[in-house]
Amino acid sequence: MHDLAKKKVIVIGAGFAGLAAAANLAQAGYAVTLLEKNEGAGGRARVFHALGFTFDMGPSWYWMPDVFEQFFKKFGKTTADYYQLVRLDPSYQVLYGPGDVMELPAAMPALEALFESLEPGSAVKLRTFLKQAAYKYEVGINNLVYKPSRSLTEFFDVKLLLDVLRLDVFQSMHKHVRKFFQHPRLIQLMEFPILFLGALPQNTPALYSLMNYADMALGTWYPMGGMHKIVEAMVALAKEQGVELRLGEEVERLEVLNGRITRVITAKGQYEAEVVIGGSDYHHLETNLLPQEARSYSDKYWDSRVMAPSSLIFYLGVDKKLDGLRHHNLFFDEDFGPHAHEIYTHPAWPKNPLFYVSVPSKTDPSVAPEGKENLFILIPVAPDLQDTPEVREKYYQMVMTRLEKITGQEIRSHVLYKRTYAHQDFIKDYHAFKGNAYGLANTLLQTAVLKPSLKSKKVHNLFYTGQLTVPGPGVPPSLISGQVVAAEVMKEFALQEPTLI
Range of the domain at 189: 109-218
Has residue 98 been placed in a domain?
A: no
Burial of 404 (0-12, 13-18, 19+ CB in 10 A): middle
Least confident of 23-37, 106-120, 278-292, 439-453: 439-453
With 70 as the cut, is the pLDDT of residue 340 above it? no
For residues 80 and 119, membership in a common domain is answered with no
Q: What confidence score (pLDDT) does residue 498 get?
A: 40
Structure confidence by residue, pLDDT tens digits, 395-451: 999 999 999 999 999 999 999 999 999 999 999 999 999 999 999 988 888 988 999
Q: Which has more confidence, 221 or 157?
A: 221
Assign 199 a pLDDT band (cuts: 50, 70, 90). confident
Could you tell me the CATH number of the domain that includes residue 373? 3.30.519
CA–CA separation, 276 and 155 (whole Å): 27
Has residue 251 been placed in a domain?
A: yes
| β-pairing verdict for 47-50 and 53-56 | antiparallel
CA–CA separation, 208 and 136 (whole Å): 8
Q: What values do phi and psi take at 464, rounded to 5?
A: -130, 150
Q: What confidence score (pLDDT) does residue 495 get?
A: 76
Domain boundary among 218, 253, 268: 218
Stretch 38-63: mean pLDDT: 98
For residues 314 and 300, membership in a common domain is answered with no
Structure confidence by residue, pLDDT tens digits, 303-322: 999 998 899 999 999 999 99
Domain boundary among 218, 236, 258: 218
Assign 335 a pLDDT band (cuts: 50, 70, 90). low
Structure confidence by residue, pLDDT tens digits, 4-13: 468 999 999 9
Q: How far is CA 391 from CA 289, 352, 388, 486, in A?
A: 32, 14, 5, 42
Q: Which has more confidence, 168 or 340?
A: 168
With 60 as the cut, is the pLDDT of residue 500 above it? no
Has residue 235 been placed in a domain?
A: yes
For residues 80 and 131, membership in a common domain is answered with no
Say how many domains are in the chain. Answer: 3
Residue 318 in 3-state DSSP? strand
For residues 263 and 329, membership in a common domain is answered with no
Has residue 133 been placed in a domain?
A: yes
Total-model pTM: 0.95
CA–CA separation, 436 and 307 (whole Å): 7
CA–CA separation, 90 and 219 (whole Å): 10
For residues 202 and 231, membership in a common domain is answered with no
Q: What confidence score (pLDDT) does residue 156 get?
A: 67
For residues 315 and 398, membership in a common domain is answered with yes
Residue among 60, 372, 418, 419 at smallest CA distance from 226: 60
For residues 357 and 385, membership in a common domain is answered with yes
Has residue 90 been placed in a domain?
A: no
Has residue 92 been placed in a domain?
A: no
Has residue 94 been placed in a domain?
A: no
